Amino acid sequence: MQNNSLKGAILTTEQMQKVIERSHKRSKTYGIDREERKKDHLKLSATELESRKTANQETLALVNATIDEFYDLMSPEDFLVGFADSDGYILHFAGADAFKKNSADRNFSPGYRWTEKDVGTTATSLALKLQASIQLNDKDHYCKRAHGFTSSAAPIFGQNKSLLGILCVVGVSSLVHPHTLIMITFAARSIERHMRLLRRNKEMSLYIGFLDSVIESSGTGLITLDKKLHIRKINRQGKQILQCNDLEGQPVSKLGDMSIDLKNLLTNPNNWKNREAHIQDKNRDIHIFYSAQPVVSKTEKLLGAVIDFAEFNNIRKLVDKISGTKPFFTFDSLIGTSPLFQEAVELAKRASQSNSTVLLIGETGTGKELFAQAIHNGIAQTDQPFVPINCGAIPGELLESELFGYVEGAFTGALKGGRPGKFALASGGTILLDEIGDMPHDMQVKLLRVLQTGEIQPIGGQKVLQTDARIIASTHVNLPEAILKNRFRQDLYYRLNILQIKIPPLRDRGAEDIKALALYFLRKTGQKQKFTVDALEALVSYAWPGNIRELENTIQRALHVCDSDIITAKDLALEKQTAVDKTITAGTLQDMEQKMISAILNTTEFNMAETARRLGISRATLYRKVKHYKLER
């Protein structure tokens, strides 16, 4: 049994004498011949020998190199050096030809197994058994064929102190010296150090290879910089975004706006999150968002930086997906068979096949945004952004930053890194300028410039950016009348009025459209209720000042109040609203709207939420209209 306390040790003279004596006794028990080496003890075939050499090729390569160094110190004419694997098989030996032949006659040659049970007491067999360094001389060997020789052997350990094999050196007895044992042990330790280095290099190579694969598989661009701000590496996605393959070694300043201040990055890392940059590449403007992180050593030494960046269009698509602004209405979503409605749908289908500006005219609640989405989705590239903005619901002083964006530091309260505007977000897709008739006069001038030049300039920015967003404008305002009242620019109207589509109010679409829409909204809820005849008559006879939006809200309210599987005219609660509607006298559309809002406000005792619900408009729109018409209690 192996004495674990001796593992890896160099045995002292006293220890060696004890283990040699015990080994002699065991050798006798094993029946080892003291006079001759048995020729029939286990030897590998040529194929088996090559297989074992292959399995130990890394160790053998280092053994060969070590043997060369060993012979620089000791003559190959006087010593033979061999290596046995962990099972005791001799895989390699080297020395003078005469010495090698003598060793082969004693079975110390490649292919033979040299365990204690095979050859008795030898330095190789004892080092294998004890996993310790040991030296034998002359009659210390059990078999007389080894008398007259000295042998020194040392174990070679691999990972987790597992035995890889035995390194041994053999010479004539007259050359015995303790230094030989020390030298062969140091040689074994040298091999172990090289093995550890090879393992670390292999692990590092695998790690770097894995890291490279991770970097290359990243869905965003990645750039690593050294402390001189030179590009060390850029991944495949980054090269694709920047459309350049020869950036390694170049200063990051070559990328224009993507500038890095390492000291500021280290002290103020949050300042370098989600920054916007424009990189000019010939005639192409590459719009990106990027973030930077410092790279430091374990001792907090600044080594460089890593930049994570993505093309603005991809960020925009992700935002659209998360925020739910992706348009999902198509022409199949537009329900109705009335001639006026079908005429509007046909015009919209034609508009969807071009990039021309579209002007949607219709009362509040007629479905102008549904038409806008259908037109957008009619274009082949429906994965492009659809960005709506209500020009009447945003205060004039904020509308410019909403439309055109701003750069960092443009004004007090501006976000770090700036903010892109709706035109930038819509680039390549569609921007819906809803309620454009309520746009402030000064903003109309700036919008006209965008329509004329296709250029936008963020607030505080020095660069003019190009936008190819397709514009769809919508309004309930009579724009020609607004022009006469100097509330809307005539030149802007001409720019917008390229493809005008008038969406008819629900009251002009006829009974069949009202019934079809009512049934659609009922099925949409998943409820099983049905309309009574009087309910359908009430729906058809109602004026619907809030149009389709009011119809949908009415159906939803009726579902909440009905007590059975049928919806009656009473559940629709249209009588009170009909009475209110009768108080609205004839006049212009705005006069009608003002009187209707005023009447419902009085009915609800200025309950803004209830009034907005009955009108089918948002509270923000209601507040704006109350202010516009100067309606008071």
Kindly report the CATH number assigned to the domain that includes residue 23.
3.30.450.40
| pLDDT at residue 464 tops 50 | yes
Half-sphere exposure of residue 85: CA atoms within 13 angstroms, side-chain side: 20
Distance CA 499, CA 358 (A): 5
Cβ atoms of residues 502 and 475 within 8 Å: no
Give the rounded percent of residues in the chain with a pLDDT score beyond 90. 36
pLDDT of residue 165: 95
Q: Based on the domain organization, do 459 and 341 belong to the same domain?
A: yes
Q: Based on the domain organization, do 423 and 488 belong to the same domain?
A: yes
Please report which confidence band the pLDDT of residue 575 belongs to, taking 50, 70 and 90 as the band edges.
low
- Could you say which DSSP state residue 471 is in? E
Average pLDDT, the chain: 85
Give the rounded percent of residues in the chain with a pLDDT score beyond 70. 91
Distance CA 543, CA 508 (A): 9
Tell me whether residue 509 is in a domain. no
Tell me whether residue 456 is in a domain. yes
| pLDDT tens-digit map of 36-77 | 877 666 789 999 999 999 999 989 999 888 887 777 666 777
Q: Based on the domain organization, do 477 and 402 belong to the same domain?
A: yes
Q: How many CB atoms lie within 10 A of CB 343?
A: 13
Tell me whether residue 531 is in a domain. yes
Q: What is the mean pLDDT of residues 88-115?
A: 87
| pLDDT at residue 584 tops 50 | no
Report the sign of the C-alpha dihedral through residues 164, 169, 173, 176, in that order.
negative
* 155, 172, 201 - which closes a domain: 201
- Looking at the DSSP bridge assignments, the partners of residue 280 are 285
Q: What is the CA radius of gyration of the chain?
A: 45
Distance CA 27, CA 22 (A): 9
Of the ranges 221-230, 446-455, 523-532, which one carries the lowest mean pLDDT score?
523-532
pLDDT of residue 316: 59
Q: Which of 144-158, 366-380, 411-425, 598-612 has the highest mean pLDDT?
A: 144-158
Q: Based on the domain organization, do 78 and 140 belong to the same domain?
A: yes
| pLDDT tens-digit map of 515-538 | 999 999 988 887 788 999 999 999
**Helix axes of 547-561 and 608-615: crossing angle, nearest 10 degrees:** 110
Q: Which residue range is the domain that position 339 belongs to?
A: 327-502
Kindly report the CATH number assigned to the domain that includes residue 266.
3.30.450.20
| pLDDT at residue 320 tops 70 | no
pLDDT of residue 111: 92
Q: Based on the domain organization, do 27 and 140 belong to the same domain?
A: yes
Distance CA 196, CA 189 (A): 11
The first and second tokens of residue 104, run together, are 């082969």
Nearest to 536 by CA among 508, 514, 505, 563: 514
Of the ranges 20-29, 138-147, 181-190, 216-225, which one carries the lowest mean pLDDT score?
216-225
pLDDT of residue 164: 94
Distance of CA 429 to the CA centre of its chain: 24
| pLDDT at residue 475 tops 50 | yes
Q: Which of 230-234, 344-348, 625-629 has the highest mean pLDDT?
A: 344-348
* 265, 295, 319 - which closes a domain: 319
Pairing mode of beta strands 358-361, 386-390? unpaired
Q: Based on the domain organization, do 303 and 393 belong to the same domain?
A: no
Q: What is the mean pLDDT of residues 192-207?
A: 86
Of the ranges 276-280, 428-432, 535-539, 543-547, which one carries the lowest mean pLDDT score?
276-280
Q: Based on the domain organization, do 356 and 312 belong to the same domain?
A: no
Tell me whether residue 234 is in a domain. yes
Please report which confidence band the pLDDT of residue 440 belongs to, taking 50, 70 and 90 as the band edges.
confident
Nearest to 389 by CA among 433, 345, 357: 433
The one-letter code for the residue type at 510 is G
Q: Quote the pTM value.
A: 0.53
Tell me whether residue 140 is in a domain. yes
| pLDDT tens-digit map of 383-401 | 788 889 988 878 777 888 8
Of the ranges 35-44, 235-244, 450-459, 576-585, which one carries the lowest mean pLDDT score?
576-585
Domain count for the chain: 4
Distance CA 216, CA 236 (A): 6
**Helix axes of 589-603 and 575-582: crossing angle, nearest 10 degrees:** 130
Q: Based on the domain organization, do 375 and 288 belong to the same domain?
A: no
Distance CA 478, CA 439 (A): 13
| pLDDT at residue 582 tops 50 | no
| pLDDT at residue 381 tops 60 | no
Q: How many CB atoms lie within 10 A of CB 14?
A: 7
Please state, in angstroms and as integers, the Cα–Cα distance from residue 85 to each residue in 1, 3, 70, 160, 566, following that order.
19, 20, 19, 17, 91
**Between these two residues, 358 and 600, which has the higher pLDDT value?**
358
Cβ-based neighbours of 439, under 8 Å, separated by 6 or more: 391, 392, 399, 433, 447
* 269, 294, 319 - which closes a domain: 319
| pLDDT at residue 258 tops 90 | no
Tell me whether residue 299 is in a domain. yes
Pairing mode of beta strands 386-390, 430-434? parallel
pLDDT of residue 324: 43
Q: Based on the domain organization, do 48 and 180 belong to the same domain?
A: yes
Q: Based on the domain organization, do 301 and 401 belong to the same domain?
A: no
Distance CA 126, CA 117 (A): 11
Q: How many CB atoms lie within 10 A of CB 525?
A: 12
Q: Based on the domain organization, do 349 and 479 belong to the same domain?
A: yes
Name the H helices within 291-418. 312-323, 339-352, 368-377, 396-404
Tell me whether residue 422 is in a domain. yes
Q: Based on the domain organization, do 365 and 472 belong to the same domain?
A: yes
Please report which confidence band the pLDDT of residue 157 belongs to, taking 50, 70 and 90 as the band edges.
very high
- Which residue reads 């590496």 in tokens? 233
3-state SS, residue 109? coil
pLDDT of residue 52: 94
pLDDT of residue 585: 38
3-state SS, residue 319? helix
Please report which confidence band the pLDDT of residue 426 belongs to, taking 50, 70 and 90 as the band edges.
confident
Name the H helices within 112-177. 116-119, 123-130
C-alpha dihedral (277, 278, 279, 285), degrees to nearest 10: 150
| pLDDT at residue 322 tops 50 | no
| pLDDT at residue 623 tops 50 | yes
Distance CA 483, CA 491 (A): 10
φ, ψ of residue 106 in degrees (nearest 5): -100, 15
Tell me whether residue 261 is in a domain. yes
Q: What is the mean pLDDT of residues 119-123?
A: 94
| pLDDT tens-digit map of 160-176 | 899 999 999 998 888 88
Half-sphere exposure of residue 157: CA atoms within 13 angstroms, side-chain side: 15
Kindly report the CATH number assigned to the domain that includes residue 376.
3.40.50.300
pLDDT of residue 611: 85
pLDDT of residue 1: 41
pLDDT of residue 37: 78
Beta-strand (E) ranges in 391-514? 405-406, 419-420, 430-434, 455-456, 465-466, 470-475, 499-502
Please report which confidence band the pLDDT of residue 601 belongs to, taking 50, 70 and 90 as the band edges.
confident
